[in-house]
Structure 1
């Protein structure tokens, strides 16, 4: 098993298939057998920022990419290729504030609830926003995801 200190040195491009402006995570902070903690600093050049703020509902993408990073770490630990996955749905998405201000540090923790042999999984997710003024608030949800053995099977390619 890869240690947490080794994990933080992973290149996000190796763990998550998103590139360019759609790659939202800065780093994996720590991970375990059924969980992962990631972090990102919200900057003005973020694709979703408008007039210094990003709507808190965008947090769902940070959570989904954290699940992708979790799946990527598991694949690397097992010497398997990193596969593409899909966000299927969310339950009870609750945000304590309507937006994240630029300069905030976003910490995302995803915990596997169940992962089926068929590639369907459920994760409890929490995003903590530490604002530049030192105040913090949380966003929580449960995400349903799907990671097929071969994504071409999904699209008939």
Structure 2
């Protein structure tokens, strides 16, 4: 795995199409053509935080944006802008715990298949080395007009 370690939040934000207040990744730790490890430190002003805890929707969005970060970094390496994408489907997500404000979570993404803008992935999200979520989803790149 190639260690990248991009923790400059503004650079990471430039690699994904999402904008505030819905940005759910702030670090890129490792990257290969078929994997990525992306992180997020939970802030108290995060849109998905309630009563000091990140809600399930925030974890799922973090997982999806980790996939988007992989795609965005690929485009960055080719000096092209990050494309817009969407969650096409969620096959299964198991949530075993919710992070709190101040925690740093990271998601490991394994790309199973990529074809014509559709990406099938398996994801595992950790907090303090403990798996707090896992699952699989399909993401789809928007068609260029």
- Shorter-chain TM-score category? 0.7 to 0.9
Q: Give the distance between the partners of 1:139 and 1:121, measured in 2 at CA.
A: 19
In structure 1, the residue matched to 2:93 is 93
Q: Cα deviation per residue 1:98-134 (whole Å; 9 max; x = unaligned)?
A: x322221101111110001x2111011111122xxxx
Unaligned runs of 5+ in 1: 153-157
1:119 aligns with 2:106: no
TM-score by structure 2 length? 0.87
The Cα of 1:137 is off from its aligned counterpart by 3.5
* Preserved contact between residue 83 and residue 149 of structure 1 (Cα < 8 Å): no
Aligned residues: 142
Q: Give the distance between the partners of 1:137 and 1:4, measured in 2 at CA.
A: 21
In structure 1, the residue matched to 2:71 is 71
Greater displacement, 53-62 / 137-146: 53-62
Alignment RMSD: 1.9
Structure 2 CA distance for partners of 1:148 and 1:51, relative to 1, 3 Å: closer
In structure 2, the residue matched to 1:106 is 105
More strand per residue: 1 or 2?
2
TM-score by structure 1 length? 0.81
More helix per residue: 1 or 2?
1
In structure 1, the residue matched to 2:135 is 141
Moved runs in structure 1, 4+ residues, more than 4 A? none
* Preserved contact between residue 96 and residue 131 of structure 2 (Cα < 8 Å): yes
Unaligned runs of 5+ in 2: none
